[in-house]
Amino acid sequence: MFKHKIFNKVLLTGSFIVTLLIIAKLSGVLQYAYVPQAGGEPNIKKNSFVFITNILPYEKFKLLIYNQSENEFGKGAYVHRLVGVAGDRIQIKNGELFVNNKFSDSALKLKHSYKIDRAYVNDLMLKGASENEFYPMDSDYFITQLSKDELNDNFFYERFINPNSDQEIVNIYHQSWNADNFGPVTVPQGKVFFLGDNRNASLDSRYIGFIDEKEITGRVFYPKN
C-alpha cells in the first residue's frame, strides 16, 4: 500500500509537470529552438539549442527570436540581436556598429573576420576547428571568423575589412554597401533591425531587410542573455 501511494504521488507530480510544460510551450512562456548555423557565435554555438520566453521584455541589444517568412532567404525562426527600433539610425563603419552615432559594440562579445597565416590555421585545427572555417586568400593566408578571446599573439592576425560592395546587400538597400561598411539607414516605423553576433557570417537585416515588429516571438534566456 505504501509503495502504491508513493507511485501515485510520483505519477501525479510527473503528470502535473508535463501539463505545465505543455501549457508553457503552447503559450510561448517556454520555447526552444535548434540553431544549425554559426551566425550567433560566440554567444550561441552552431548546432546548439536555445531556450526562449515571451514574458521577458524585448529590449535592444538582447538576443530575440523572430519569424522570417521570405522564401528567398529560408522561412523559419531566426535568432539575432536586436540593435535598432523605429527611428534609430544604424551605421557600420569598418566593422564597428554605431546606433544613433554612438559606438554600440563595446559591451558585446562578437566574432569578426580576420586574416591569419597558415601556422595559425594549423593551431586552430588542432584545437578542433574544421577546415571549412578557413577561406584561402592565397597559399599563405586565410580568412576566418574569430572572437577577441580566440586571438593568439603567437601567430599573425589582422582584422579583415571587405573593401568591395556586396551585391546581396545592394539588392536590398540599393546602395554600394557591404557587411563591414553599411548605412547609415534609419529604421522605419513598425520595423526593427537585427544583427548576428558573428558579424561577417550572419544572414541578418543587412541581407534580408527590416523585420516587422510583430514577427518577434520571444527572447533568449539560455544561454544567458
Q: How confident is the model at residue 75 (pLDDT cuts 50, 70, 90)?
A: confident
Calpha distance 5→8 (Å, rounded)? 5
Say which range, 10-19, 134-143, 146-155, has the weakest mean pLDDT.
10-19
Longest dimension (CA), the chain: 78
Q: How confident is the model at residue 1 (pLDDT cuts 50, 70, 90)?
A: low
Higher pLDDT, 4 or 14: 4
Calpha distance 84→192 (Å, rounded)? 6
Looking at residues 109-137, what average pLDDT do you find?
A: 96
Single-letter code of the amino acid located at 177: W
